[in-house]
Structure 1
Amino acid sequence: MTEAILLVGGKGTRLRPLTVNTPKPMVPAAGVPFLTHQLARARAAGVEHIVLATSYLAEVFEPYFGDGSALGLHLEYVTEEEPLGTGGAIRNVASRLRSGPQDPVLIFNGDILTGLDIKALVAVHETSGADVSLHLTRVADPRAYGLVPTDADGRVQAFLEKPQTPEEIVTDQINAGAYVFRRSVIDAIPAGRPVSVERETFPDLLASGAHLQGMVDSTYWLDLGTPQAFVRGSADLVLGRAPSPAVPGRCGDRLILPTATVAPDAKLTGGTVIGEGAVIGPGARIDATTVLPGARVDEGAVLSASLIGENAHVGARTILSDVVVGDGATVGADNELRAGARVWCDAVVAPSSIRFSSDE
């Protein structure tokens, strides 16, 4: 049996205000907490035991997922008292693992939406005899990422910082945030202090002559660290572009949860999600947007690539494009917000004195 560690302790500061009241892995994507998709994909790959390494708002996870039996899993929870970094978090849960010293342990970052072939990564790890195997993906513009060059056999050669000049871009391969560790490598990580696998563990292993194997899998991959990426990932799940057995309905242009109310002439497109108890008014046009439970969008509002928080209210004829509206916030009628605007939780944006036509 392969078991796994899920790193879900991050504060999600780039996702605020979504993460003020909710840890990043619990923000809904395609109708369920994002973590549900990761757990379901791991279970589909044969994983049965998963330890969640929690920290920020740690008390939220176990009441929702319990022991994991509803997903066919056995879940355990370990909370960091102080932030320990990726490597420190992995080491902190080692006592809950059941694997022997030579057995493989899967590790996933809690904010990556991916179509990774998990079984293939484990197979590469076992056939190569690696100490650690890494999922690598290729990106068109690697300047925002650390680079991971490999040799002709896929063996990792180095971990390079974000390139500053074109000459430093020696590969388009980046660390995609999923690994297989030999259990003994986890036990060798220093305990009780912050450790970064990217900046300390992996470079130190390379320097000591350990075998780090890369597997390039360039299927769907998205870092959900920003609101724009999170909204896109949710839409891609609904549209079927990103695979998950946990989407609560058929893939298509929209996903309307059972207790939501949508006016007959409202138009929902682009992977839009309407959460439980949400209300969409007449003539609203909503594209590639997530409307969380209990929110209300009034008549004639036009929303695109946005996220509307729980119990938030978008007034009539308001236009939102690439906007996050926090939980409980109100954006009054006839407003127009664009280009990454964020409305904080429980804030009120007064109705505008300028009237917008929904056709503009």
Structure 2
Amino acid sequence: MSVSTPEPDPPEPARGVDAVVLVGGKGTRLRPLTLSAPKPMLPTAGVPFLTHLLSRIAAAGINHVVLGTSYKAEVFQEYFGDGSRLGLDLEYVVEDEPLDTGGAIRNVADRLREPDAMVFNGDILSGVDLPAVLATHRANAADVTLHLVRVDDPRRFGCVPTDADGRVTAFLEKTDNPPTDQVNAGCYVFRREAVESIPAGRPVSVERETFPGLLASGARLQGHVDSSYWLDLGTPAAFVRGSADLVRGIAPSAALPGDPGEALVLEGARVREGAELAGGCTIGAGCQVGAGARVRGSVLFDGAVVGAGAVVEDSVIGAHALVGDGAVVRGAVVGDKAVVGAGCELLDGVRLWPGVHLPDGAIRFSSDV
């Protein structure tokens, strides 16, 4: 007798809260990858990165999501539509000109339906417990609650100290001697009134204007501090690491199109005998990996080809790009339809721009091509 496995219960609705995801940036630090797609739409562990974030929002029981878009705004709606495929109700608001984080939040105010709004930077990969952040916000009757993450080296960030009750006391710029290891993790809960207090129609920085202004006015800004997984995907190295962590199950997602493991091989990809796939690599749809090739901790966009005996480590290979036989690509970016000739070496942050053809045997270090 067969026993059917019951379907998992749907998430308990998170009442009284909308989600806002800010996806308007141009992703200049990720060029040339972002020349053809906005950063949140780059293929990350098999799906556009934003899919992973939206899946976590849905899993937290939040249904209504507003996307604040700008750069290549049409791409988001073309892919996600009304959000029903993910169990969400999606709306889109386009910025006519860049408004910075605070201005972008204010720009969606008229689409909010609930007393609270959970706001996300659309390029952060995080494992924070979203219902716990909302619970902290409500338990403290906060005007704004900030997810703060502890990092090993806070000197690279502005830091956010809190008092014994978890109340935010200041917003400090980068310093060689930070007083705390807590940094702004790019996830907030705003009371609707706090959103509406932000000046409309102009760029506003939450770190330099909104949050300090709220503190000065006596508003309660609460910190939700943890040491959960957290990564800003703003650079090629971080993007590669984040994708690999998703594939290996180190970073949480309900949208991974396969089981966690050392490699994710998508539909139509061909991996020849003797090829080695490891380190959380993603082999995109229609890709080809030649005999004896080694692909480790890398992302191959759809249609990319890695030749026999080639080595690709900690790198991004763009759509329909070619890495020739015996070539070595380490810590590099190869743009869409670019060609890395046989026996070439690309190392240490080289970025090969779309359509560029690198002749056989060429060696490049630390520069754009």
Q: Same fold (TM over 0.5)?
A: yes
Asked if 1:149 corresponds to 2:151, the answer is: no
Determine the structure 1 residue equivalent to 2:109.
Answer: 94
Asked if 1:196 corresponds to 2:208, the answer is: no
Alignment deviations for residues 284-328 of structure 1 (CA, whole Å, 9 cap, x no partner): 001101101011111110011000011111111000110000111
Equivalent residue letter for 1:149: P
Structure 1: which 4+ aligned runs deviate by more than 4 Å?
none
Distance 1:200 1:190 in 2: 10
Determine the structure 1 residue equivalent to 2:326.
Answer: 317
Equivalent residue letter for 1:232: R
SS of 1:19 mapped into structure 2: helix
Determine the structure 2 residue equivalent to 1:127.
Answer: 139
Determine the structure 1 residue equivalent to 2:80.
Answer: 65
Distance 1:9 1:312 in 2: 27
Alignment deviations for residues 62-97 of structure 1 (CA, whole Å, 9 cap, x no partner): 010000000000001111001100011111111111
TM-score for the superposition, normalised by structure 1 = 0.96
Distance 1:29 1:264 in 2: 25
Tell me the C-alpha RMSD between the 2 structures: 0.9
| Correspondence 1:178-327 to 2 at 5 A | 178-327=187-336
Distance 1:119 1:347 in 2: 47
Determine the structure 1 residue equivalent to 2:179.
Answer: 170
SS of 1:62 mapped into structure 2: helix
Return the offset for 1:352. Answer: 1.2
Distance 2:51 2:200 in 1: 29
Return the offset for 1:272. Answer: 0.6
Distance 1:151 1:349 in 2: 56
Distance 1:40 1:30 in 2: 14
Distance 2:275 2:104 in 1: 46
Distance 2:195 2:357 in 1: 48
Report the identity percentage.
61
Q: How many residues are treated as equivalent by the alignment?
A: 348
Alignment deviations for residues 161-210 of structure 1 (CA, whole Å, 9 cap, x no partner): 001x33xx100000000000001111111110000111110000001110
Distance 1:260 1:328 in 2: 17
Determine the structure 2 residue equivalent to 1:6.
Answer: 21
User: Unaligned stretches of 5+ in structure 2?
Assistant: 1-14, 364-369
Alignment deviations for residues 328-347 of structure 1 (CA, whole Å, 9 cap, x no partner): 11111100111111001111
Distance 2:27 2:332 in 1: 17
Distance 1:334 1:140 in 2: 39
Contact residue 147 and residue 224 of structure 2 kept, 8 A: yes
Equivalent residue letter for 2:196: D
TM-score for the superposition, normalised by structure 2 = 0.93
SS of 2:179 mapped into structure 1: coil
Determine the structure 2 residue equivalent to 1:350.
Answer: 359
Determine the structure 2 residue equivalent to 1:26.
Answer: 41
Determine the structure 2 residue equivalent to 1:358.
Answer: none
Return the offset for 1:264. Answer: 2.2
Determine the structure 2 residue equivalent to 1:137.
Answer: 149
Return the offset for 1:348. Answer: 1.1
Q: Which of 109, 130, 148 matches 2:121?
A: 109
